[in-house]
Amino acid sequence: MINLYSTHISTLSIHRVGNKSRNESILLSKEPFKFDDELTPLLKEYFLKPFREKEENYYQFSHETDLEFHELFTIVSEIFSNPETIHEQSKKITKYLFDQSMHPHIKSGEVYVAYLENLQLDNEKVDAVGIFKSELKQDFLQFSESENQLEASLQQGVNLNKLDKGCLIFNVKKEEGYKVLSVDSNRYDARYWLENFLGVDAFEDDNFFTKKYLKFCQDFAKDVVFPAEDKKEEVMFMNRAVNHFAKNDTFEESSFVNEVIENPALIPEFAHYKTEKAPKYSIEDLTTFPIANTAVTAARKKIKNVINLDTNIQIKMDFINSESAEKFVEKGWDEEKQMYYYLVYFNREQKS
């Protein structure tokens, strides 16, 4: 979990990078950016706001041979060892980004490399290197006044409400490839930023395992529970699964299976499904791990608790008071109409 409100931008370098395949140039600033009281807070909000709004999916630098051959990892490691060299290292970062800018869809733009202090990661203060890129320009009117006349001219600039690309590289877990967060508002060139430039894989921490296991459970509910039983039981299975994660600090698969799978016939189906599908979710050998509450909260928001019927009627199940669905919703078959039905009990209708 991160807290960025006390973050301080210690140094900032700004360069410009073009598209190499179109023979566009690269501009490397001679000196670091000189801060002023008006622009600094605006830039801080521009850089960090997307990370406060985005779900925390961590990455780590990776290389098929060894991390010592990962160019960006090497540059960032030098910065953390000698922060005073960051401006010269920022030029190397920009040149490296320029070398990856070969696809014709990649846009030119400004590159910002910042040394950030006082970030909080998992309740500990850490430093980080921030790399950001602005690409899309917007038109705006610039006004000038001369005597009794107001003149307007059309100019282009960067919208400080939307960062195009960015990453935060935290000075933790160096041996694993650091912990990295990334944002990318422009999906047309995602491989260029994440794969070609950053060269990262998902960071396999508690958040990663919690999220992956819950996604595995969601697909099991859809692929196995629903065909074997019905939509109500699919929804209730996921409700029990999420609640199990929410009330425990550590996941134990045997305890989970016994508590969440109410139909004994589905227990061997669960084991078979995991054997068959586990590699897809990177949970092959995963039977116990610490639970990340942030991942549980995010999963609860995404899981659908609605039964959609082909008669254009929806039944919404309450995840908070799940016992109501068990006690007051019944499914049956009407011989006369040759249709299924849900019978819902209640005392009175509530005002919306």
pLDDT tens-digit readout, 85-125: 999 999 999 999 999 988 878 889 999 999 999 999 988 99
Asked whether residue 240 falls in the same domain as residue 327, the answer is: yes
Q: What would the mean pLDDT of 195-211 be, rounded to a whole number?
A: 90
Look at residue 108 and tell me if it is in a domain: yes
Domain count, the chain: 2
Q: Where are the beta strands (DSSP E) in the chain?
A: 2-3, 8-17, 26-27, 59-61, 109-121, 124-134, 137-146, 149-158, 165-170, 179-184, 200-202, 250-252, 288-290, 306-308, 314-316, 329-334, 339-344
pLDDT in tens, 295-348: 888 888 777 777 888 888 888 776 666 666 677 888 888 888 898 888 888 888
Q: What would the mean pLDDT of 273-284 be, rounded to a whole number?
A: 90
Look at residue 270 and tell me if it is in a domain: yes
Asked whether residue 103 falls in the same domain as residue 243, the answer is: no
Asked whether residue 312 falls in the same domain as residue 197, the answer is: no
Asked whether residue 80 falls in the same domain as residue 212, the answer is: no
For the ranges 74-78, 132-136, 202-206, 286-290, the one whose mean pLDDT is highest: 74-78
- Which residue among 203, 229, 254 closes a domain? 203
Asked whether residue 34 falls in the same domain as residue 72, the answer is: yes
Candidates 22, 36, 53, 21; CA nearest to 162 is: 53
Rounded to the nearest angstrom, the gap between the alpha carbon of residue 252 and the centroid of all alpha carbons in its chain is 26
Asked whether residue 271 falls in the same domain as residue 186, the answer is: no
Amino acid letter at 263?
A: N
Tell me the backbone φ, ψ of residue 182, rounded to 5 degrees: -135, 145
Asked whether residue 178 falls in the same domain as residue 240, the answer is: no
Global confidence as pTM: 0.76
Look at residue 143 and tell me if it is in a domain: no
Look at residue 85 and tell me if it is in a domain: yes
* pLDDT, mean over the chain: 89
Whole-number pLDDT of residue 322: 60
Domain span at residue 25 reads: 2-134+164-203
- Which residue among 180, 203, 226 closes a domain? 203
DSSP 282: T
Candidates 322, 287, 285; CA nearest to 303 is: 322
**Percent of the chain topping pLDDT 90:** 53
Whole-number pLDDT of residue 188: 67
Asked whether residue 225 falls in the same domain as residue 308, the answer is: yes
Asked whether residue 230 falls in the same domain as residue 174, the answer is: no
